[in-house]
Each structure stands twice: as C-alpha cells, then as structure tokens.
Structure 1
Amino acid sequence: METKIKDRIVNYWTKRSENFAQLRQEELHSYMSELWLTEITKYLPQRPCKILDVGTGSGFFAQLLAKHHHEVDGIDLTHSMIEQAKLSLKQLSDYNSKINFQVMDAENLYFADNTFDVVISRNLTWTLPNPQKAYSEWYRVLKPQGILLNFDADYGNEQFYQTKIENLPLNHAHRQVKPTLMQECDLIKNSLEISSKIRPDWDLRILKQLQFKDVFADTNIGQRIYKHQDKFYNPAPVFLIYAQK
C-alpha cells in the first residue's frame, strides 16, 4: 500500500517537475533568496556545515546554502526533480562542487548515523506516507547537537482544486497548473494520515517522543517570507519547526 502511494506521489511530481523547477530558479534569483536565508541562518552554526536537504525538489535550499559555503546533500524521491536540480547546477560552477544531488526516500536514508550538522526541509512533510519514520531517520543521521529545520504548512486543511483561482495573483504558479493536477494533488493529500493531524502540534509531539530537544514552532514565519502577493506567494499558513538532537 505504501509503495503504491509513493509511486502515485512520484508520478504527480514528475508531471510538475519542469514548471516547478523554473519557478524555483526564478525564486533563487529574486528577493526571496535573502528572505529565506535570513530565516535559516538564525539557527545555523557560525561555520560551514554539512547539511542534508530532504525533499530538495529542484534544489532551491541546496543551492542557496552551498552559495554560502555549506556542503549540501540534496535528496528527492522524484527522479525528474533531481534531474532538474542537476541541470540548474551546471550554471553554478562557482559552488557546485559543494552539492551532491541524488534520488533517495526521505523515510529510508542511505546515510550513516551522525553524518549531518543540519537537516533541512521545505514543503515535504505534508507529502509523506510515514512522516514519523522520516523524523526518526532525520534524527538518526544528525550528529549530536545537530539541528533540524522543517519549513512546512498544514496543507491537510487546504483544498487546492477548490481554491478560487481569482483569489491568486495573476502570475501565480498555481494558475499555470492544470485543474486535473490540482485535483490529483488533493486526492493524494487526502489519502495521507498526516492530513488528518493538527499541525504543527502533532510534529512537535512526535519530535519530543523521538528525544529531540529544544523543540518549538515559529508560526509567524509565513508573514515574514510571503510579504508580497506575487508568483511566489503561498497563502497557506507556513510554519518552521526547530529541533536539536
């Protein structure tokens, strides 16, 4: 059953990978990069880190962090997303040696215990069939005192297909997505157990059970990141989850 839903998820994001990658590249070269970097660097050690970007997609966080001297492994379950990430990397020869992109399941990591200083993720947890297993794996691969930064939203409360398109900015990315794909996204999302959870409360409870320390959520970050209703705008209430091993 879990394999079947993962195949469905991969199939969905394969269809969206090219347009998704284009938007993320535009975001990387926009004012949004500094907004994201400001939020992330609040929590990073004042030294180059070894970072795992889980659900890297087309590599937005990985490229942003490598540009600022960190060594990054970017992983994603969708092969076409990783291909898009590698394509975009060819344009960034000044720091591409600091990034390694590969296809990998966020719930079943190949890395050894205690490998990374930081595990970071954006808009991934809501797509996972077994997010508790993913959190357990992320704990395992973090070094002692390592940091988890998870940027997500309670997308289980959103219905993408039913969102009124006229409420979105004219150049918003979702205006370019076929309604059938938005409907498919809802069908997948609604089949996942995490969509029935109250978030981020559920996440915080699970992380504490896994022995993470200093666990907290910042539920105001979306207001700081998404100040403008433009193509990058996310109307969902974004949160940051911080935890330390």
Structure 2
Amino acid sequence: MDLINRIEKYWTERSDEFCNLRISEINSNKRNLWIEVISKNLPQDKKLRILDVGTGTGFLAILMASLGHDVVGIDLTEAMINGANKTSHLLNYNIDFKVMDAQNLSFEDNYFDVVISRNLTWTLPDVKKAYKEWYRVLKHNGRLLNFDGDYGQVSFSNQVKTLDANHAHVGIKNSILKECDDIKNNLDISMQARPKWDTKILNQIGFSSCKIDNTISEKIYSTQDEFCNPTKMFGIYAIK
C-alpha cells in the first residue's frame, strides 16, 4: 500500500472518534479560546471567504462559520467529510465540505481571503507543494493561518503512556498509534526543524510577513483536560 493510501486508511479508521471528540470540543471552552487566537489574525469588519484545509470533522470550519464567514472545508478522507457534514448539520451551520487533497486543490486562482489549517501539515507527503497550492488560491493580501506541532519528534505510542486517564487519546489502540508513528516517520516533513523550515519555504514561495507564534499551547491548552495537546503547538501567520 502506498503512503497516500495508508494515510487515508489511517484517518478513515479514526473518523468516528474524531467526530465525537470535535463535537465535545466545540461545546467546551476551547471553542472561544481558538476563536480569540484566530480572530486576532483575520481581517476585521468584512465577510471572508475561508478555506479550511484538512478540516477533519469540521472544527475550524464551524468556528469560522459561526463568525458569519463563507467557509469551504476539505479533507482527503471521505469518512471525515461525512463526519463534518453530520456535525455542521447538527449545529445548523451551512458549510460546503468537499473530499479533496490539500496538495492538489481544484479551486481557481486568487479565490479565498483566508486559508486556515490545524494539525494537517505534519501529515502531508509534500508540504511544499501544499503551501504552493494554498498560495495560489489566496487572493492578493490573503492570509494563511497554519496551526501545527513538530510531531516528527514525537512517538505517539510512547506519549500516550504519560497522559492522564481522562485524556481522549488514552483509549486509542496501541496498534493504531504505532501505525501513525510509522507513517509519520516516513514523511519528509518529520525530518525538518519546524516551524523554522516552514517560514523559510513560505518566504521562498512568495508569502510575506511570515510570523511564528510559539505560544499557542499556553493560550489553548493551559488546562489539562481531555482535549489537551501534549505536543507544543505553534501558529504560522503569513500574507500573500
């Protein structure tokens, strides 16, 4: 099985778990914490056309729709998109969810005001290609907001042993975590020093004003609850 198919299969197997967790997260205090972080980096006083790349079961897409923006959410995995549709309908949001590869977008050039992503780039076989596509579909002065972690340096199968019993990842089968580790260890992005590598690539592509926020974990995950991400997260903000 090639890497792309392994990645799709892995996230398909976790789609039900993700759907339930994201609904719980939307109904938690994490919702407003994420909105606060994101809103500070969005153009104000206008309705935006936003692309949520790697939407999973729709967490960021729903948050952006709740602020009144027009949102499209894409994910490689059909099961995740089914979960996103289920969640958005449950919460009465009208969001356009599509099955699509983050590295090969079908949108026209200069189409979106904002491209946003959370915990996606560490899973991609060709992050530079993805960044080029995101640059292409952004309008002039469009914003990129990418929230991720340096997961290449983490062993998920070992990390789960250190988590509190109420953490959402504790119940995941060890075989699934080991498969994630194996996939991750075969990705080029896992070998890079992040987020320094990302900003270098974004500047090469043509983005300007690339800024790194290394305080995401402190802002979002100061409380050790079921949603807490044990890997330190960063934010990358850039302008086309």
TM-score, normalised relative to structure 1: 0.96
Matched residue SS, 1:240: strand
The root-mean-square deviation of aligned C-alpha atoms, in Å, is 0.9
> Is the aligned partner of 1:131 residue 2:114?
no
Question: 2: distance between equivalents of 1:57 and 1:42?
Answer: 23
> Is the aligned partner of 1:106 residue 2:102?
yes
Report how far residue 164 of structure 1 moved.
Answer: 4.9
Report how far residue 92 of structure 1 moved.
Answer: 2.4
Whether the 8 Å contact between 2:76 and 2:101 is mirrored in structure 1 is yes
Q: Which runs of 5+ in 2 are unaligned?
A: none
Partner of 2:238: 243
Runs of 4+ in 1 over 2 A off after TM superposition: none
Partner of 1:41: 39
Partner of 2:193: 198
Whether the 8 Å contact between 2:160 and 2:169 is mirrored in structure 1 is no
Instruction: Give the AA of the match of 2:88.
Output: L
Q: Which runs of 5+ in 1 are unaligned?
A: none
Aligned sequence identity (%) = 52
What do the CA deviations read for 1:156-208 (whole angstroms, capped 9, x no partner)? 0000012252x212211111110000000000000000000000000000000
Question: 2: distance between equivalents of 1:74 and 1:193?
Answer: 25
For residues 160-239 of structure 1, the aligned pairs below 5 Å read 160-165=156-161, 167-239=162-234
TM-score, normalised relative to structure 2: 0.98
What do the CA deviations read for 1:116-159 (whole angstroms, capped 9, x no partner)? 00000000000000000000000000000000000000000000
Instruction: Give the AA of the match of 1:186.
Output: D
Instruction: Give the AA of the match of 2:25.
Output: E
Report how far residue 88 of structure 1 moved.
Answer: 1.1
Instruction: Give the AA of the match of 1:138.
Output: W
